[in-house]
């Protein structure tokens, strides 16, 4: 199928959002012929919004339906364009919301198809990973049956269901540097080791990103407790406001010693502000 050049040429964000929605509507006949339930579910959702659908959400919903039902390579290009302009994580979360609208089947066949289509192309693979991990639930309990976990991971690597795959990834991502990870890799058949190693690397990267965000929220809390501005807090700990902002967002993780300095500084600011308040009273 020939791609529509308009789908891959750079467009301003507002034009891209509107064009994505309109392109889906123009292909109604093709979508209904292939998957009338997906189309009906999407239209019910759209009508239920009573014309108040945010442009970003509407466009990503439309993109998800196109990826789930049609085979046009231009839809992959369009998903990448949305991710480039809106952010990979944001688009993945909106795709996850879309899956709840058009993929009522507990087995999530449409979501599975979208994930594997995205993972199958280098340009969209990062978005595919973000959507795959968008509904990961960490499971603190170690699995009792490693064989089933390994089977789910191997199946996922070969186009299998994201439902079982996410459950297995959740178990693995709980402690991706622990003994479970080593056992899964060591006991895997030789033909499956590369696939499991790849998924393990994804889990480690995802968990490290989650941990950075937790640290960022802790730093944000320390700044709030200190009672001073972020600029004042940065000066107190010996860094720049922009660097402190990168710690808050999780883009950069501070060293353990700097984190301790932040905790001491927050307490010191509290004491100083309390003393100043008492002196004025």
User: From residue 74, how far is each of 9, 20, 122, 187 by CA, in Å?
Assistant: 10, 11, 14, 41
* Position 9 confidence tier, pLDDT thresholds 50, 70, 90: low
Instruction: Give the integer Cα–Cα distance in Å for 43 and 240.
Output: 50
Q: What does the buried/exposed string (b/e) look like for 240-269 if buried means 16 or more CB atoms within 10 Å of the residue's CB?
A: eeeebbbbbebeebbeeebbebbeebbeeb
Residue 51 has pLDDT above 80, yes or no: no
As a whole number, mean pLDDT of residues 118-146 equals 86
pLDDT at 186: 83
Arithmetic mean of pLDDT, 240-267: 95
C-alpha angle 216/94/13, rounded to 5°? 95
Task: Name the more confident of 189 and 126.
Answer: 126
Per-residue model confidence (pLDDT) at position 140: 58
Cβ distance 186 to 144 under 8 Å? no
In the block, tokens 């809106």 appear at 86
Which pLDDT band, with edges at 50, 70 and 90, does 91 fall under? very high
Over the stretch 257-266, which tens digit does the pLDDT of each residue have?
Answer: 999 999 999 9
SS (H, E, C) 177-188: CCHHHHHHHHHC
pLDDT of res. 10: 65
Report whether pLDDT(7) > 90.
Answer: no
The pLDDT mean for the chain works out to 90
Q: pLDDT value at position 87?
A: 95
Q: Is the pLDDT of residue 5 over 60?
A: no
Contact 165, 132 (CB under 8 A): yes
Give me the residue spans of the domains in the chain.
Answer: 5-133, 146-207, 209-280
Checking if the pLDDT of 139 tops 80, the result is no
Q: Report the pLDDT value the prediction gives residue 141, as an integer from 0 to 100.
A: 64
pTM: 0.84
User: Closest Cα partner for 171 from 159, 187, 183, 158?
Assistant: 183
Tell me what percent of the residues of the chain surpass a pLDDT of 70: 94
Q: Please, what CATH class does the domain formed by 209-280 belong to?
A: mainly alpha
């Amino acid at each position: 199928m020939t791609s529509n050049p308009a789908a891959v040429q750079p467009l301003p964000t507002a034009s891209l959002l509107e064009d994505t929605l309109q392109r889906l509507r123009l292909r109604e006949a093709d979508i209904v012929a292939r998957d009338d339930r997906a189309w009906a579910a999407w239209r019910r959702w759209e009508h239920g919004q009573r014309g108040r659908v945010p442009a970003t959400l509407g466009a990503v919903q439309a993109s998800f339906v196109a990826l789930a039902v049609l085979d046009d390579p231009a839809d992959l290009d369009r998903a990448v364009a949305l991710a480039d302009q809106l952010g990979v994580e944001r688009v993945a979360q909106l795709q996850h919301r879309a899956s709840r609208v058009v993929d009522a089947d507990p087995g999530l066949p449409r979501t599975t198809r979208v994930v594997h289509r995205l993972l199958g192309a280098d340009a969209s693979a990062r978005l595919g990973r973000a959507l795959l991990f968008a509904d990961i639930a960490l499971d603190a309990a170690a699995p009792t049956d490693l064989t089933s976990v390994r089977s789910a991971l191997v199946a996922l690597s070969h186009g299998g269901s994201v439902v079982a795959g996410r459950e297995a990834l959740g178990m693995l991502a709980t402690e991706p540097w622990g003994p479970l990870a080593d056992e899964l890799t060591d006991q895997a058949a030789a033909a499956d080791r590369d696939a499991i190693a790849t998924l393990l690397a994804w889990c480690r990267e995802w968990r490290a990103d989650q941990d950075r965000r937790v640290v960022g929220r802790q730093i944000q809390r320390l700044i709030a407790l200190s009672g001073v501005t972020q600029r004042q807090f940065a000066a107190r700990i010996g860094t720049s406001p922009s660097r402190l902002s990168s710690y808050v967002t999780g883009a950069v993780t501070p060293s353990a010693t700097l984190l301790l300095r932040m905790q001491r500084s927050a307490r010191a600011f509290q004491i100083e502000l309390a003393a100043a308040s008492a002196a004025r009273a």
